Copies of this chain bind each other. A is one copy, B any other.
Amino acid sequence: MSANSRLTIAAHALAWIGLYQRQGHEVATSEQIATSANTNPVVIRRLLGELRRAGLVQSRRGVGAGWSLARELESMTLLDVYEAVESGPLFAMHRTTPDQGCVVGHGIQPAMQGIYEGIEETLRHELARVTLENVLRDVLAAPR
């Protein structure tokens, strides 16, 4: 499906900021998060920018700048993160319009549309069941 890692990295960043704040720090830098996720700070800033637009994090500029949570981890779900960083449907329709003169070509898109909507609704429901607090707890529960 050519899956991407945006949801994973975003969850990683949020868990990292949340834990860091619980350790008494005010803000986390994209540099620190990028080191933990083993990627480039710009990648982190881009993703966190999308999370900020969704109201999940805040950023400060200038010296001592960085990122902080805009809400508690308990109140954020993977659905919030998913909707912030992923766009578009899970399954795509035909790239070109099917033959409308054919019974199947005519009816296939509404049929699949209805089916896909139900499936995506279920997916959203599942994502909404997991909070970032759950994620952080699972992270800390990993055997070392």
A contact set with B: CB distance below 8 Å: 1-5, 7-9, 11-12, 15-16, 19, 35-39, 78, 86-99, 102-108, 110-112, 114-115, 118-119, 122-123, 126-127, 130, 134-135, 138-142, 144
Q: Which of B1, B93, B112 contacts A135 (CB 8 A)?
A: B112
A93 vs B134: C-alpha distance when bound (angstroms):
18
Query: Contacts A36-B98, A99-B36: A107 and B5 contacting too (C-beta < 8 A)?
Result: no
The answer to whether residues A111 and B138 also contact, given A19-B103, A122-B126 and a CB cut-off of 8 A, is yes
- A112 B11 Cβ-Cβ under 8 A: yes
Contact between chains at A106 and B4 (CB < 8 Å): no
Report the Cα distance A112→B127, complex, angstroms: 12
Partner of A111, one of B7, B37, B104, B139: B139
Alpha-carbon gap, A96 to B90, bound state (A): 24
CA separation between A139 and B36, bound complex, in Å? 49
Closest residue on chain B to residue A17 by CB atoms: B104
Docked CA distance A119–B99 (Å): 35
Instruction: Please state if A8 and B94 are interface contacts (CB–CB under 8 Å).
Output: yes
Contact, CB under 8 Å: A94 / B39: yes
A-B CB contact pairs (8 Å), 9 listed: A3-B92, A8-B112, A11-B112, A12-B98, A12-B105, A38-B96, A38-B98, A39-B94, A110-B138
